[in-house]
Amino acid sequence: MTPPPSDRTPRLTTATPSTCPDLGSLPYAATPDSDNRRIRLYDVLPILSIHLVGIAAVFTGFSWTAVAVAAALFWARMLIITAFYHRYFSHRTFRTHRVTQFLAAALGTTCAQRGPVWWAAHHRVHHQHADDHPDPHSPGLKGLLFSHVGWFLTQRGQQIDWSRVPDWRKYPELVFIERWHMAGAFVLAGALFALGFTLQHTAPSLNTSGPQLVTWGFGISTSLLYHATFTINSLAHTIGSQRFNTGDDSRNNWFLAIITLGEGWHNNHHFYPGTARQGFYWYEFDPAYWALRTLALLGVVWDLRPVPASVYRAAQVHSLQRTLRAPFAKATT
Ligand SMILES: [Zn+2]
Ligand SMILES: [Zn+2]
């Protein structure tokens, strides 16, 4: 069974691309596949540097204060990536005020995963061509490592296809954030240094310092955030179960759901990306959805798109089909 047609994901087009004069545009259709594989050293330096900052924790030492700061920043920023960069900017599964939209976009840049326009532009291509050309990060087409960490280091991966995000390019504040996205990482690192320096002199019993909070709170936390996020592009298309026949390699994986606050129900998501939920049942761990429900109660977001009844019926049909096929599958093994 194919996904319902009305998934509320914005309609995508490969027609003549709109461009952004200041940031350029590189449409997927115009990019040779060879350019999708060539990795430039220059583009590797930012992510490599952040890993090296984390490794420098060997020299700045350990404290529970630093661990707590790193953990808090990991989970808080994972929530921004899952709830806003993915479910809002990429799929528009709920609505919010323009100020909240701006704040989510700006705070998201502290994750050093570019701005939400870049993020959404590539992700929409992924959904339109999942595990087929020109999906930017299909492990079945380009290998597990490339889908995890290689694709965004290519010329294609570094650029934005503005034709994919006509809904966001009309906001000058989002284009501004996209242009200055690297500032977020520096602001976070600077704030952590200032906090650590202050604590070192006002609360020495916490055993921390400016360099220590930078290495743990920025270096280690951001590196872990990178790889947890990247597993959805790599492992969530490789390891796990398939509730729905989506025609791609997407999987449901409970472990990935835990480390990404609910994004591991990736086969659910590929079947129906137009809902704010990714765990379609109460027992499927999806704290990003719970956080969105809480924000909705507070009036910060609204119009959370539900899972339609037709999707639950489709799940029952797929379950029944698997049950009926099981004896035949055993007989042939
Ligand atoms: Zn996917
Ligand atoms: Zn998605």
Spatial contact of 289 and 277, defined as CB atoms under 8 Å apart: yes
Range picked from 11-25, 142-156, 288-302, 308-322 for highest mean pLDDT: 288-302
In a domain, 264, yes or no: yes
In a domain, 186, yes or no: yes
The pTM of this model reads 0.90
Task: Report the domain count for the chain.
Answer: 1
How far is the centre of ligand 2, averaged over its atoms, from the C-alpha of 311 (Å)? 17
Closest ligand to the CA of 235: 1
In a domain, 3, yes or no: no
End-to-end CA distance of the chain: 26
Q: Encoding tokens for residue 32?
A: 């040779």
In a domain, 12, yes or no: no
Q: Distance between CA 101 and CA 5 in Å, rounded?
A: 27
In a domain, 17, yes or no: no
Average pLDDT over residues 176-185: 96
How far is the centre of ligand 1, averaged over its atoms, from the C-alpha of 250 (Å)? 6
pLDDT in tens, 38-53: 887 888 999 999 999 9
Spatial contact of 237 and 58, defined as CB atoms under 8 Å apart: no
* Per-residue CA distances from 152 to 90, 202, 309 (Å): 17, 42, 36
- Beta strands of 204-320 (E only): which ranges? 301-302
pLDDT in tens, 110-164: 999 999 999 999 999 999 999 998 899 999 998 999 999 999 998 889 899 999 9
Average pLDDT over residues 260-277: 98
Q: Encoding tokens for residue 165?
A: 């995000």
- Residues in Cβ contact with 242 at an 8 Å cutoff, skipping those fewer than 6 apart: 250, 251, 252, 267
In a domain, 147, yes or no: yes
pLDDT band (50, 70, 90) for residue 23:
low
Q: Distance between CA 304 and CA 284 in Å, rounded?
A: 18
In a domain, 145, yes or no: yes
H helix and E strand count, the chain: 17, 2
In a domain, 209, yes or no: yes
The pLDDT mean for the chain works out to: 90
Quote the domain boundaries for residue 216. Answer: 28-331
How far is the centre of ligand 2, averaged over its atoms, from the C-alpha of 182 (Å)? 24
